[in-house]
Amino acid sequence: MANFTIDAVKAATYDAIVIGSGISGGWAAKELCEKGLRTLVLERGRDVKHVKDYPTANLNPWDFEHRGQVPLATRAEYGKARSFMREETLHWAIKESEQPYIEDKPFTWTRGYHVGGKSLLWARQTQRWSDFDFEGPARDGFAVDWPIRYNDMAPWYSYVEKFAGISGNKDGLPHLPDGEFLPAIEMNCVETHFQNVIAKNYTDRHLIQGRCAHITSPQPIHTAQGRAKCQHRALCVRGCPFGGYFSSNASTLPWAEKTGRMTLRPHSVVHSIIYDEKKGRATGVRVVDANTKQMLEFYARIIFVNGSALNSNLILMNSTSSRFPNGLGNDSGLLGKYIAWHNYRGRMSAEFDGFPDKATDGKNPTHSYFPRFRNLHKQEMDFLRGYAVGFGAGRGMYATQEGIGAGLKEQLLNRKWGNWGVSAWMMGETIPKETSFLALDKEQKDPYGIPTLRISADWDDNDERMIRDYLEQFTEMFTKAGFTNIKATDSKAAPGSDIHEMGGVRMGKDPKTSLLNEWNQLHHCKNVFVTDGACMTSTSTQNPSLTYMALTARAADYAVKELKKKNL
């Protein structure tokens, strides 16, 4: 029996364990495997193989039984979930019963429970941070100072951009550093018109083409991954069989698999991290097999936690021991606190009757982008931080439904071009607050016997003032551009609707006010690294995924070096 136990432990032992297979988990797997570590990747959801498991990727609208709609009976199985409630994307949705959570106030939590996670669901926007972002908390005193600056991240941004494939222009903006870009996707004529209006009327504002993780000119590194040029189908959320955009499934996970050192285990719901009191470090991970409900244990010298922000918090909070009764590494008592997200509530729409001789040809998988222009150099507004904005324009055809009989048929068969439609949407920075927190419910448990996550988060006056400023400023800019039928709206959406939840295991210089150091290590458990959204000290206004990738590659490089020095 003893030999059996020793053999069983040996078979379940790896050099590294990565929890999660999404954008940051995929990068952790790639980096650790490339650097020689036998790595176990744990994913709570089902397996998804690139190309093979994108069932709707090449279907036409008429191929769907319900023309894209989800029948009410099926929709009911997903409860209040709204994301991916279309026939072509239903395979990404999760049923409410899979992981119920408690909302102290309304909170929208979108999850990707399958191999690849939300790397198959994201909007693929990729902007670097600058020191304006990393220094934000230090300037205004909210949250704590980041332990890193742009110079720490710049080489790692370059590293991941070259591998992932990022298209964009060299715009020369100090608050949005340029990167390693493939050729940008072209703006359309209305976007260019708006860009010129902004340049003529403002010195502090810029409209640029969005930087996105789409391959526009494949380089040898992309060909080696088996990825091809973006086909401009704009069906990205179904899964891209061409690998035209970056995902774990098309890129980092197959790359890790080629090393022969990756073991991928889907249907593995992580319960907690095992902490050895005598060794003073984490030794492994407890997993509930999603199919059998059996509790299993896996062991490793280092552990990367990449379960997506809220679940990473949950795992650490549930990882209790005599040394850490309140959660792994939680001597400060801050685990689960100071969560934040992005504010997408402000929306603008309008029409433009210019360029009647032009229309878009093909589809654009990205859009143009307004980098933040508020409170950059100093605190000048009645709200903290600022907002970035997405902007897009398109033109379609319409048919009137006037008349009857032959006249009506004639109208329906001979569609006409309408005006251009324009839209803009804000992406505001929310301030991490102690009143925005996560906790484990003491009584309710999920289907795997894991405590149910309680989410307590809400908007504040800072968010409301930011929304008002956005709506006022873009109404003004839309008017200067000659747009008509301008509508400025506040969606009143619940926090979390942006799918950019962050924080709870924040980085910092002082173990008394943070959980992680400058290398994404838990201050008090050095062989555990957290490099997904949970690690974020503040949110800034950029889409966060590129920063997660860079932080992960940087942390993995450090972890392996520390292993070789026998410091872990």
**What pLDDT, in 10s, does the model give residues 3-27?**
557 777 888 999 999 999 999 999 9
CB-based contacts of 38, cutoff 8 Å, min separation 6: 14, 15, 16, 261, 263
Q: Which residue has better confidence, 96 or 454?
A: 454
User: Residue by residue, what is the 3-state secondary structure of 514-535?
Assistant: CCECCCCEECCEEEEEECCHHH
**What pLDDT, in 10s, does the model give residues 396-449?**
887 777 778 887 777 778 788 889 999 999 999 999 999 999 999 989 999 999
**What pLDDT, in 10s, does the model give residues 243-274?**
999 999 999 999 999 999 999 999 999 999 99
Q: What amino acid occupies position 454?
A: R
Average pLDDT value for residue range 90-108: 93
Other beta carbons within 10 Å of 190: 24
Mean pLDDT of the chain: 95
- pTM of the shown model: 0.95
Contact 474, 198 (CB under 8 A): no
Question: What does DSSP say about strands 451-456 and 295-299: parallel, antiparallel, or unpaired?
Answer: unpaired
Report how far residue 493's alpha carbon sits from residue 458's, in angstroms, rounded to the nearest whole number. Answer: 11
Give the single-character DSSP code of 328.
Answer: T
Question: Could you give the percent of the chain with pLDDT greater than 70?
Answer: 99
**What pLDDT, in 10s, does the model give residues 192-201?**
999 999 999 9
Of 60-69, 257-266, 455-464, 485-494, the range with the lowest mean pLDDT is 60-69
Contact 156, 148 (CB under 8 A): no
pLDDT surpasses 70 at 2: no
- Bridge partners for 262 per DSSP: 39
CB-based contacts of 372, cutoff 8 Å, min separation 6: 132, 175, 386, 387, 388, 429, 540, 541
Report how far residue 491's alpha carbon sits from residue 257's, in angstroms, rounded to the nearest whole number. Answer: 43
Report how far residue 441's alpha carbon sits from residue 105's, in angstroms, rounded to the nearest whole number. Answer: 15
Contact 265, 40 (CB under 8 A): yes
Average pLDDT value for residue range 456-465: 97
Tokens encoding 141: 């005193």
* Radius of gyration in angstroms for the set of CA atoms belonging to the chain, rounded to a whole number: 24
Longest dimension (CA), the chain: 87
Helix (H) or strand (E) holding 337, with range, is strand 337-340
pLDDT surpasses 80 at 224: yes
User: In which band, very low, low, confident or very high, does the pLDDT at 1 lie, cut at 50, 70 and 90?
Assistant: very low
pLDDT at residue 80 in the model: 75
Beta strands in 344-386 (DSSP E): 346-352, 368-370
Of 102-116, 351-365, 368-382, the range with the lowest mean pLDDT is 351-365
pLDDT at residue 355 in the model: 94
